[in-house]
Amino acid sequence: MGKAKAVPQNRKTLALKNAPSVSKKQKKRKETARTIENIKNKPKVPKKTINCEQNKTGIQNLKVKNQEKMKQISASKKTQRVKSGKTLKLNNHEIKLKRLEEILSRKTQTMQTERKIKKQQPLTLRDRMMAQLSASRFRFINETLYSSDSSQSKQYFNEDPDAFKAYHDGYKQQIEQWPINPLDVIISSIKNMPTDNVIADFGCGEAQLAASIPHEVHSFDFIAMNDRVKACDITHTPLLMSNVHVVVFCLSLMGTNLDDYLIEANRVLKTNGILKIAEVESRFEDVEDFIRLLGCYGFKNTWKDLSHDLFYFMDFKKEEDISMKKKKTLPTITLKPS
């Protein structure tokens, strides 16, 4: 068979075949244009601005927190300083107390040593005779006071003032031999009373009570041994009626007219005022009878301590005044000589 003849192609057809596709180019151009347009239309994000603002806010917050922490630390330090200051003060206070305790301990030891030395040292004949004379004179004066009324005792001491001093010197020696000093008990109780209370010390001696408490104290005895004492017969004191809160008889109920002592105590005491009595226990025949008799003088017993071997302590409250009519019917009160 013979070969088929090729169909001749014109130039235009060949050109179209060989030419690139127009649609593809257009597509690429469109895609490129879209990409460019998308890039142009994409919203711009302010990178640095937002970050800076956030950083500024964060830094500011940190500063505020740091300032608060610094304030807390400062307050804590101040508190610690105050606490440490208080601790130092307390420590100093404790040190002072310890020093005082040491000083008192040394003084006590010194006094005890001195007493031992005095006891150990033999007295000369003259010293022994003087001591015996002093003791004898004390006993004589003591008996005189117990067996005389107050006006006679005052006259005796006015005529012989040295006798009053000799009596109190002997009294001091007696105190050293006692297990307790009754005046110390009374001083302790009055210290617990309001400081505006007025005290009257009947038979005060050297007015040790007035020297030991902050209260106003009227001190009375037959002879004034110092400026704190007013010399008088304690049955007739210069005090006004119902003028004092407390009357004290500390080993001073001596004489044959104890009724007058108690009448005067009632006169100067305010209603509900306190009568304090400390006395040698051997002087009471019957202490309950003594308490009952004081009820006739307008006094009610509010407290008593009869537990000591040597002394009785009693408190009485004034409930009423003693009228002139009642004075005539009052029972007599007596105590035995010690």
Question: Encoding tokens for residue 254?
Answer: 């001596």
Long-range contacts of 63-68 (CB under 8 A, 24+ apart): none
CB 314 within 8 A of CB 277: yes
Is the pLDDT assigned to residue 76 strictly greater than 80? Answer: no
Q: What is the pLDDT of residue 82?
A: 46
Coil/strand/helix, residue 199: strand
Query: Do residues 302 and 316 make contact, with C-beta atoms less than 8 angstroms apart?
Result: yes
- Given a cut of 50, whether residue 285 has pLDDT beyond it is yes
Query: Residue 199 falls within a domain, yes or no?
Result: yes
- The verdict on residue 201 lying in a domain is yes
- What is the C-alpha to C-alpha distance for residues 93 and 187, in angstroms, rounded to an integer? 26
Would you state the pLDDT for residue 50?
Answer: 46
Query: Is the predicted pLDDT of residue 240 greater than 80, yes or no?
Result: yes
Residue type, 121: Q
The whole-number average pLDDT for the span 85-89 is: 49
- The reply to whether 10 falls in a domain is no
pLDDT at res. 147: 95
Query: Average of pLDDT values for 309-332?
Result: 96
pLDDT at res. 134? 73
Question: Does residue 209 lie within any of the structural domains?
Answer: yes
- pLDDT top residue among 9 and 187: 187
| Per-residue confidence band for 117, with pLDDT thresholds at 50, 70 and 90 | low
* pLDDT bracket for residue 301 (50, 70, 90): very high
Roughly how many angstroms between the first and final C-alpha of the chain, as a whole number? Answer: 185
Give the model's pLDDT for residue 159.
95
pLDDT in tens, 118-136: 556 666 666 666 566 677 8
Mean pLDDT across the chain, nearest whole number? 81
- Comparing C-alpha atoms, which of 118, 117, 122, 223 is closest to residue 166? 223
Given this model, what pLDDT does residue 248 score?
A: 99
Tell me the sheet residues that pair with 248.
201, 276
Per the CB < 8 A criterion, the answer to whether 322 and 296 are in contact is no
Lowest mean pLDDT among 12-16, 31-35, 320-324: 12-16
In the chain, how many domains are there? 1
274 occurs within a structural domain: yes
Average pLDDT of 96-124?
A: 63
What residues make up the domain containing 205? 180-328
Residue 194 has pLDDT above 80, yes or no: yes
The DSSP-derived string for 205-219 is: TTTHHHHHSSSEEEE
Whether residue 192 is contained in a domain is answered as: yes
Q: Which residue has the higher pLDDT, 278 or 61?
A: 278
| Structure tokens given for 123 | 């007295």
Q: Is 291 within the bounds of a domain?
A: yes
Cβ neighbours for 148, distance < 8 A, ≥ 6 positions apart = 156, 255, 256
Place of tokens 């597509």: 27
Overall average pLDDT of the 258-268 stretch: 98
Out of 8-22, 62-76, 99-113, 252-266, least confident range: 8-22
User: The CATH number of the domain where 268 resides is what?
Assistant: 3.40.50.150
Look at the chain and count its residues.
338
Pick the residue with more confidence: 133 or 170? Answer: 170
Which range of 103-112, 157-166, 269-278 scores highest in mean pLDDT? It is: 269-278
Closest CA to 252 of 262, 266, 239, 241: 262
Residue 33 maps to a domain: no
Name the pairing type of β-strands 216-221 and 229-231.
parallel
Beta-carbon count within 10 A of 176 CB:
8
Q: Which amino acid belongs to residue 131?
A: A
| Residue 291 vs residue 34, higher pLDDT | 291
46 φ/ψ sector (left φ>0, alpha ψ -120 to 50, else beta): beta
With beta carbons less than 8 A apart as the criterion, state whether 297 and 330 touch. Answer: yes
The whole-number average pLDDT for the span 64-85 is 60
Give the C-alpha separation, 338 to 336, whole Å. 6
- In degrees and rounded to multiples of 5, residue 83 shows phi and psi of -60, -45
Name the band, by pLDDT with cuts 50, 70 and 90, for residue 142: very high
